[in-house]
Amino acid sequence: MLQSKLFTKTSRNVSADEVSVNARFLTQAGFIDKQMAGAYSFLPLGLRVHRKIEQIIRQEMDAIGGEELLMTSLQPKELWEVTKRWDTPEQIMYKFEQAGSSDVGLAWTHEEPITRIAKRFISSYRDLPRYVYQLQTKFRHEPRAKSGIIRLREFVMKDLYSFHATEADLDLYYEQAKQAYLNVFSRCGLETMVVEASGGAFTKKYSHEFQVLTEAGEDRVIYCSSCKYAQNHEVAKGKVGEQCSACGQDKFKEGKCVEVGNIFKLGTKFSEDFKLYYTAEDGSPKPVVMASYGIGPGRVMGTIVEVHHDEAGIRWPEAVAPYRLHLIALGKEAEVLERAQALYQELTSRGAEVLYDDRDESAGIKFKDADLIGLPWRAVVSAKTGDKVELKSRIAAKAELVGTHKLLNTFSVR
Amino acid sequence: MLQSKLFTKTSRNVSADEVSVNARFLTQAGFIDKQMAGAYSFLPLGLRVHRKIEQIIRQEMDAIGGEELLMTSLQPKELWEVTKRWDTPEQIMYKFEQAGSSDVGLAWTHEEPITRIAKRFISSYRDLPRYVYQLQTKFRHEPRAKSGIIRLREFVMKDLYSFHATEADLDLYYEQAKQAYLNVFSRCGLETMVVEASGGAFTKKYSHEFQVLTEAGEDRVIYCSSCKYAQNHEVAKGKVGEQCSACGQDKFKEGKCVEVGNIFKLGTKFSEDFKLYYTAEDGSPKPVVMASYGIGPGRVMGTIVEVHHDEAGIRWPEAVAPYRLHLIALGKEAEVLERAQALYQELTSRGAEVLYDDRDESAGIKFKDADLIGLPWRAVVSAKTGDKVELKSRIAAKAELVGTHKLLNTFSVR
């Protein structure tokens, strides 16, 4: 992408009501635009990050047998009255009445519609297990929409639903899904703690949260700081001052965390409400055992910025960066511009993901923008670099001179 | 994909209120599920078609310089009061009031937000032209939601917005976009007529519709049946009984059509309302000239079914089929099942898109399901086929015996 043609520009100005690090940097770097409290547009660079996170999630869901579908946001009142979730104490559902229609709300989760749909296709033990997921917008009337893109009123969520004949089968799959979740976050550059959740009415003791330590967090988690990632990332339980059962030390502390994902054993709550029964091998009718599993890619993106940044800007992990390489031409010499242009063309023809700063701007402005945007690698072409380029990692202090051949080899994908 | 594991099943039952061909076949084949009037979920097979159409659209939009972004559905009242489109005569916008919030609506189009966002980044002639697009859900409170997935209350739309310094520049791009649209529809297997539209207040004589002839259409278009696709698909103007100015014959007739896309020259309507001005080369402030361009992938999908089907089911064009090949094992012989399984594995390992009917069902049921689902090719493995397979196109009457080698060559992509 030529930076001179990019729809967005960086800006140092950001509204005073954006207090979170992720909202400030993402706004300044031109990744997002605030439409209203709790609703942000994803601009071209921001959407590229969002899509890369979505793609990582898709790969991991597909790997555990997930089939992708897409349910509706518009939801009829009657469906949600079956589970008594049309009215919740928090009144989280956006609802509207309009002349000539029955009451309609916007989905803030999708257990109700997926259970109804599953009734069309699941009737026998032979139809189980089944795993379906979607990447669909959720709408939640959050009273306090803050923390930039971490707590939103409108956001894409990946939600997977699994259907099983028995609890034992669910338990096996639940552990597979837990591992898939750990893979997703690790590929996105986030270290997560798996925390047994306090849960709601029907999820008590059957749900887990994936928590990332950061000052931007709204949750608090007690963890043992000497073994927090032990036992497949599950935190040991305990209180501050107590001895940890896993490592024997008294290193429990409370940390601020962002919850980037959660998994719930729903049991037979929804299948009983909707009469989703299957015929077992012995001919008897049994309720289907269900679980749901959620990740918000936008929240993951916001958390990545909270964890990976310095004073100058974002430091994207390679797997989710909008482009891998920021190619920068410095100076007005025709020779330099020609060489940079040729390199850009060669790189893109080999499938490399390059943002090429071809603008007529000073070195100072170009370097500041590159640090703010935060691509993992920066390659400078100038009169000083001769037939080489100055390659620097966003997280390294020093650049190194490398030959064109090495640059091409490093960033080509074909 | 193994059909025995597929989330959906075919069904001959369909609700009596589904009168359109597309809704009946797509429901019976398990591609969609009706959530409520005007809102359908896309099940795994259906989502694959939708995504393929989206991908074709993306490629054509990228080819004319489009940058993808994603705006919000939630929209604040104040923004839409600028253009006086918060209240429209049709009251097409879903709106809700909730304790503690200001009025919020759901976007039924996105000119207002994109013009506001463009003000952040466009201020000089150097910043023009710019082209941005999105694939985002629109919500429209249609009084009559019918025609299956052709007229919906909730549907994904690709909307592209272009920003220009001059009308002359817009005119050039408008023709490029028109060609890109023709490419999209042609790749999706649809023949379209380009019709100058009657248009709304500010689009009069500056908008075009892309119309597909089908009995399922809600529009009526007068076209010359002897030269309807002449002049780059633009229909000659005239009335029934008149002589066509293009071919000289009096072959004008009225046909039922579905509008699958439209393009509008917005001029300076929105830029003046939002004060989106740029500084021209001579230093003077000028309003940006705009246009918008829309395609609904779901509507395209519904129209494809209306155009491409027979009594037995859908006949997907290759480019948008959920899978290219339906591999069917007939009989219970271990040898047959082993050979079919080995073929399936070899095909998928070579990147072929295969749905493998590995179910324990009769030939009659398998063939009926295959015709209903409508993949372009069907390959049968049975005791009769020996070491060959019986390959049949969905649109051909007869099958032909082909060797494994030819099958692999035809469907492999790597």
Residues of chain B contacting residue A8, judged by C-beta atoms under 8 Å apart: 120-121
Position A7 in a domain = no
- Total count of domains within chain A: 2
In this prediction, residue A231 carries a pLDDT of 65
Q: Please say which residue of B287, B310, B333 terminates a domain.
A: B310
Query: Is B188 a residue whose pLDDT tops 80?
Result: yes
Token match 């000083």: residue? A384
Instruction: Give the closest of A7, A30, A76 to B132, CB-based.
Output: A7
Helices B44-63 and B297-307 sit at what angle, rounded to 10 degrees? 110
Considering chain B, what is the average pLDDT of its residues?
Answer: 93
A366 and A226 within one domain: no
In this prediction, residue B202 carries a pLDDT of 54
Touching A: B residues 6-35, CB under 8 Å = 6-9, 11, 30, 33, 35
Give, in degrees to the nearest 5, the angle at Cα A186 between B71 and B51. Answer: 40
With DSSP H G I counted as helix, E B as strand and the rest as coil, what are the percentages for chain B, rounded to 5? 30, 30, 40
Position B315 in a domain = no
pLDDT tens by residue, B119-152: 999 999 999 999 999 999 999 988 777 778 898 9
B206 and B289 within one domain: yes
Report the chain A residue with the minimal C-alpha distance to residue B14: A120
* Phi and psi torsions of B164, nearest 5°: -135, 155
In this prediction, residue A289 carries a pLDDT of 97
Closest CA to A344 of A381, A316, A386: A381
B144 and B262 within one domain: yes
Instruction: Provide the token pair at B172.
Output: 């050039």
Query: Is B233 a residue whose pLDDT tops 90?
Result: no
Position A3 in a domain = no
In this prediction, residue B276 carries a pLDDT of 98
B152 and B89 within one domain: yes
- Residue by residue, DSSP assigns A332-349 as S-HHHHHHHHHHHHHHHH
A284 and A333 within one domain: no
Total residues belonging to chain B: 414
B226 and B81 within one domain: yes
pLDDT tens by residue, A240-264: 999 988 888 899 999 999 999 999 9
In three-state form (DSSP H/G/I as H, E/B as E, the rest C), the secondary structure along A219-237 is: EEEEEECCCCCCCCCECCC
Residues of chain A contacting residue B123, judged by C-beta atoms under 8 Å apart: none
Is there a contact between B121 and A9 if contact means CB atoms under 8 Å apart?
A: yes
Is the pTM of the predicted complex or chain greater than 0.80? yes
A206 close to A264: Cβ distance less than 8 angstroms: yes
Position B83 in a domain = yes
Query: Is A200 a residue whose pLDDT tops 70?
Result: no
Touching A: B residues 73-102, CB under 8 Å = 73-76, 91, 94-96, 98-101
Query: Is A10 a residue whose pLDDT tops 80?
Result: yes
Query: Is B199 a residue whose pLDDT tops 60?
Result: no
The Cα–Cα gap between B39 and B16 comes to 17
CATH number at residue B79: 3.30.930.10
B400 touches chain A (CB under 8 A): no
Q: Please say which residue of B281, B310, B339 terminates a domain.
A: B310
B162 and B291 within one domain: yes
Position A63 in a domain = yes
Burial letters for B298-332: b for 16+ Cβ neighbours within 10 Å, e otherwise? bbbbbbbbbbbbeeebbbbbeebbbbbbbbbbbee
| Interface ipTM | 0.96
Residues of chain B contacting residue A141, judged by C-beta atoms under 8 Å apart: 98, 101
B31 and B67 within one domain: yes
Mean of pLDDT values over A311-340: 97
Position B3 in a domain = no
Is there a contact between A98 and B117 if contact means CB atoms under 8 Å apart?
A: no
Instruction: Give the closest of A38, A74, A91 to B35, CB-based.
Output: A74
Query: Is B96 a residue whose pLDDT tops 60?
Result: yes
A355 and A230 within one domain: no
Position A8 in a domain = no
B96 and B220 within one domain: yes
A403 bridge partner residues = A388
* Phi and psi torsions of A412, nearest 5°: -70, 145
In this prediction, residue A269 carries a pLDDT of 94
B329 and B217 within one domain: no
Q: Please say which residue of B279, B310, B341 terminates a domain.
A: B310
Residue A106 belongs to what domain range?
13-310
Query: What does each C-alpha distance from A178 to A61, A231, A297, A373 come to in angstroms?
Result: 11, 13, 17, 32
Position B1 in a domain = no
* Phi and psi torsions of A384, nearest 5°: -70, -25
Least confident span in A303-312, A346-355, B174-183, B249-258: B249-258
A299 and A338 within one domain: no
CATH number at residue A402: 3.40.50.800
Closest CA to B31 of B23, B42, B39: B42
In this prediction, residue B231 carries a pLDDT of 64
